[in-house]
Amino acid sequence: MLLTFGETMALFVARRTGPLRFARDFDLGVGGAESNVAIGVTRLGGRATWIGRVGADEFGDLVRTTLLGEGVETVAIPDEEAPTGLMIKGRRTADLIDVRYYRSGSAGSRIGPGDLDAELIRSAKVLHVSAITPALSPSAREAVRHAVALARSAGVMVSLDVNYRRKLWSPSQAGEWLRGIVDQVDVIFATEEEAALITDEPEKLPVPHVVLKFGAKGALERSGGVTRFAEPYRVTEVDPVGAGDAFAAGWLAEWMAGGDADRRLRTACAAGAFAVTSQGDWESLPRRADLALLEPGAGDVSR
């Protein structure tokens, strides 16, 4: 079982491209980096548990029912004192995503070590955290520190996705926190820019499995001194948000299933490709049977 925790928000998505104030119509859904990963692992046949705080409100119920529905073991702690956070997503142009948050002081940001069941963490096969959580609040940062320490002591694999968010903290703040935790991590997911937050020499990162993502140019994994590259899948991009979460989910699901490095990277790239080919942060994540759909020839009309 993969255990993860963090903030999942209600998500308003604009239906039209252009400045947000002209969007007029919005769809309602949910999104959160860690729950996206939990859903992704579940789709690929793994078990996943997500822990988080939500408001005692309709949007908190939406987060809970959505994750439960997707088969994630969901610990959505209702917080009577604070509302569920909001994310509002649009496109300034066809090529530029525009994301706004209403998450300051949200229920999700109030997570703390006391919300994490130590037995759950110890019983997990993987603990997955993102570097969004430590940027939310001091208690959230402490929750990450606490969970990683528990996992390390119990021999649970620790996975970290850098997921840098410049609206939450500065590069130097993020870099400092990352440098403080990186040597407790078993696998790290990062883009080249994110790796540079930690070190000028990413090839020397003290992490057993370093996975670097190059977007439409593929990805690499460096494990045990060996570096493997994976070619990207060629797909028509509809919505890039969630691709990194999908990628991590693909890698981790295969790691949990005992897949070798080539298979991990290949599934990671496939999951990332699915994520961008349709709308929503996680809705399009693949089941095992879907992975074949990206192979050549699958694009025929399936009548």
Catalytic residue set: 245
Quote the DSSP letter at residue 2. E
- Best CA proximity match to 54, nearest among 69, 65, 43: 65
Residue placing its CB nearer to a copy of itself in the complex, 121 or 276: 276
Question: How far apart are the C-alpha atoms of 245 and 232, rounded to whole Å?
Answer: 16
Using CA atoms, how far residue 73 sits from 41, 45, 138, 181, in Å, is 12, 13, 26, 27
Q: Does 35 bind a copy of itself (CB under 8 A)?
A: no
Q: Of 93-101, 111-119, 206-214, 260-268, which part binds a copy of itself (CB under 8 A)?
A: 93-101
Options 119, 138, 166, 226; binder of a copy of itself; rule CB under 8 A = 166
- Max Cα-Cα span within the chain: 54
Q: Does 73 bind a copy of itself (CB under 8 A)?
A: no
Which residues are CB-neighbours of 51 under 8 A, at least 6 positions away? 3, 4, 5, 75, 77, 111, 115, 116, 117, 120
Sign of CA dihedral 25, 30, 32, 33: negative
Question: How far apart are the C-alpha atoms of 27 and 35, rounded to whole Å?
Answer: 19
Options 119, 138, 172, 302; binder of a copy of itself; rule CB under 8 A = 302
Q: Does 235 bind a copy of itself (CB under 8 A)?
A: yes
Q: Does 301 bind a copy of itself (CB under 8 A)?
A: yes
Residue placing its CB nearer to a copy of itself in the complex, 167 or 204: 167
Q: Does 292 bind a copy of itself (CB under 8 A)?
A: no
Q: Does 58 bind a copy of itself (CB under 8 A)?
A: yes
List interacting residues with a copy of itself (CB under 8 A).
12, 16-28, 57-59, 61-62, 64-66, 68-71, 83, 86, 91-100, 102, 104-105, 165-167, 235-238, 240-241, 274, 277-280, 283-284, 290, 293, 298-299, 301-303
